[in-house]
Structure 1
Amino acid sequence: MKSVVGVLVLLFCCLSGALAQQNRVDGAVKNTETTCHADVHAVLREMSAAMAEQRVELKHTQTQLQALQGQLKTTERQMEELRKQNKERPYVAFAASLGVSGNTGPFNTDITMIYKNIFTNTGSAYNPNTGIFTAPVRGVYYFSFSGCNDASKAMGLQLYKNGVKQVTVFNHDSGTRYETSTNGISLELEVGVQVYMRLLKNTWVADSDNNHNTFIGHLLFPLLSSGCQQ
């Protein structure tokens, strides 16, 4: 009988130990699972925060891209307008010299100077047969001229606009040397207005193949016609 009781006690002790060991294993597994779950949640939270930041950055980038696209379209429109204006803009420019060696003048009356040696005549607004420039479009033009003379006699040159004197150069007689003078002016001209040079009576100019006497003009920019102004 005692032997049976001893065996039962021993068996109970073994079972109790096994159950305790199993409980410890289950607890460790549970703790491990809890720790793993906590780590996964932390990683997910970090990923969620990172994705939120990326969405904000993406939205900001999209906004910048839209702004750049708008600027690009504006620039393209401006370039197209400039190309259109450049295509439609008239080109007017001339430069000429007397093309005569020796003295011109003096005369007993004022005369219109004719500059026959053409350097350029873009737009053909200057007439080398008459010495007269005729404005082909309404706009602001710049003109300049130069004169040279044997100072034993005076030199007087004047630029005219439709019969009205605008600017002058004048060298008094002062000996046997040669003297030069220049002048220039910007003028607003209507279509058909004429600009030309006059040599004053009793004065002269001297020239050679060095082209000391010149008449130059070009369109600075066109203006809207009078009827189109607002």
Structure 2
Amino acid sequence: MSCTILYPLLLLVIICPCMSEVQQEEKGLQTDRTEHLNVEESGAGSTSGEFQQHFLTGIQSQLAELRSTVRSLKNRLEVTEEHLRRKDYKVAFAATLGPVGNYGPFNTEITLAYKDVFVNEGRAYNPTTGIFTAPVKGVYFFTLSGHNRSSKAMGLRLFKNGQQIVTIYNHPQGDRYETGTNSISLTLEEGDHVYVRLRPNTWVYDNVNDHTSFVGHLLFPLCWSC
């Protein structure tokens, strides 16, 4: 009877500690799995954040490149528009004194007003004053010619803003008609003035044949350095 009771008690004593150890191991396995899942979720979150940051950085870089390209195209467009605007200038004039006969001599130097205008493209030449005003910075070409009876001297001077550039001078050579010419290329700023003056005590001659002339035109603008 006693053996029958003692055997189950002994078995219970042996099994209980084993069950406790098994439960502890199961708890440990659950803890390990939980930590592993947390680590995986943390890693996934970190990877996603890095991807988003890399994506945003790429977009910002492309936007910066696009802005730079737009600025470059805008600058090129402005230069092209300015170039086309400047190239649109068509400047040319040609005028003569007309049928005035002998003109001069005078006691003082005067500006010649060439009133018979053949062409005045751009309206830069003023036939009332005889003054050409450059409408745009550029290189211009000018020609002047003078005709006279050589019983008296003929003296013509081409001026730029009050500064003498070139001249024509014909000394008295007897009583005959003679012609002198001169020409020059000039770099002018916008607003510069070019005109011809008759020296004191000299004269010039013109008639319907238009011997005495003042001619000029724009060779090319310098808009890229304006």
The answer to whether residue 215 in structure 2 is matched with residue 190 in structure 1 is no
- State the number of aligned residues: 145
Q: Deviations over 1:72-96 (max 9, x none)?
A: xxxxxxxxx8xx8499421000000
Tell me which residue corresponds to 2:211.
212
| Identity across matched positions, percent | 61
Tell me which residue corresponds to 1:58.
none
Q: Secondary structure in 2 aligned to 1:106?
A: coil
**Quick check: 2:86–2:223 contact (8 Å CA) kept in 1?**
no
The answer to whether residue 163 in structure 2 is matched with residue 164 in structure 1 is yes
Name the TM-score, length of structure 1 as normaliser.
Answer: 0.60
Instruction: Output the amino acid matched with 1:138.
Output: K
The Cα of 1:174 is off from its aligned counterpart by 1.0
Instruction: Output the amino acid matched with 1:183.
Output: N
Tell me which residue corresponds to 1:104.
103
Instruction: Output the amino acid matched with 2:162.
Output: G
Question: Residues of 2 paired with 1:172 and 1:132: CA distance?
Answer: 26
The Cα of 1:99 is off from its aligned counterpart by 1.5
Question: Residues of 1 paired with 2:86 and 2:193: CA distance?
Answer: 26
**Quick check: 2:87–2:221 contact (8 Å CA) kept in 1?**
no
Q: Deviations over 1:127-186 (max 9, x none)?
A: 000000000000000000100000000000000000000000100011110000000000
Tell me which residue corresponds to 1:175.
174
Instruction: Output the amino acid matched with 1:149.
Output: N
Instruction: Output the amino acid matched with 2:112.
Output: M
Name the TM-score, length of structure 2 as normaliser.
Answer: 0.61
Question: Residues of 2 paired with 1:117 and 1:144: CA distance?
Answer: 16
Question: Residues of 1 paired with 2:174 and 2:216: CA distance?
Answer: 32
Tell me which residue corresponds to 1:89.
88
Matches within 5 A, 1:47-196: 85=84, 88-196=87-195
Q: Please tell me the root mean square deviation across aligned C-alpha atoms, in Å.
A: 1.7
Tell me which residue corresponds to 2:72.
none
Instruction: Output the amino acid matched with 1:124.
Output: R
Instruction: Output the amino acid matched with 1:174.
Output: Q
**Structure 2 unmatched ranges of 5 or more:** 1-79
